[in-house]
């Protein structure tokens, strides 16, 4: 079946407990998520070219404004974060 989509499985879904912490306006492309040791987390906002810190209580703040949209973030020790950006005219940077 090379080139064919994988078969669909009607597996039962089991909802898990969740909580909406914060929201952005419709059309905002919130992508990557990195948890921090204190319970906060960092998200990349592809559509705004930003990294944002979201606090458990729902407040958020801009950590970085980037020249191009972030394509990936990774958490590092001591609550630091590394972002990767890329555009059609330049190689990936971090």
pLDDT in tens, the chain (94 residues): 456 767 777 788 888 998 889 999 999 999 888 888 888 889 999 889 999 999 989 999 999 898 888 878 877 666 556 666 665 555 555 5
Predicted TM-score of the model (pTM) = 0.68
Task: Return the pLDDT at 15.
Answer: 87
Burial class for 58, CB neighbours closer than 10 Å (0-12, 13-18, 19+) = exposed
Q: Which of 32, 4, 74, 50 is nearest to 83 (CA)?
A: 74
CA 94 to CA 88: how far, in whole Å?
A: 15
Extents of the domains making up the chain? 30-85
């Amino acid at each position: 079946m090379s080139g064919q989509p994988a078969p669909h499985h009607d597996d039962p879904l089991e909802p898990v407990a969740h909580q909406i912490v914060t929201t952005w306006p419709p059309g905002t492309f919130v992508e990557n998520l990195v948890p921090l040791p204190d319970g906060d987390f960092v998200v990349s906002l592809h559509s705004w070219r930003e990294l944002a810190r979201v606090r458990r209580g729902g407040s958020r703040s801009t950590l970085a404004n980037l020249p191009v949209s972030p394509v990936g973030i990774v958490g590092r020790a001591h609550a630091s974060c590394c972002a990767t950006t890329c555009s059609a005219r330049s190689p990936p940077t971090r």
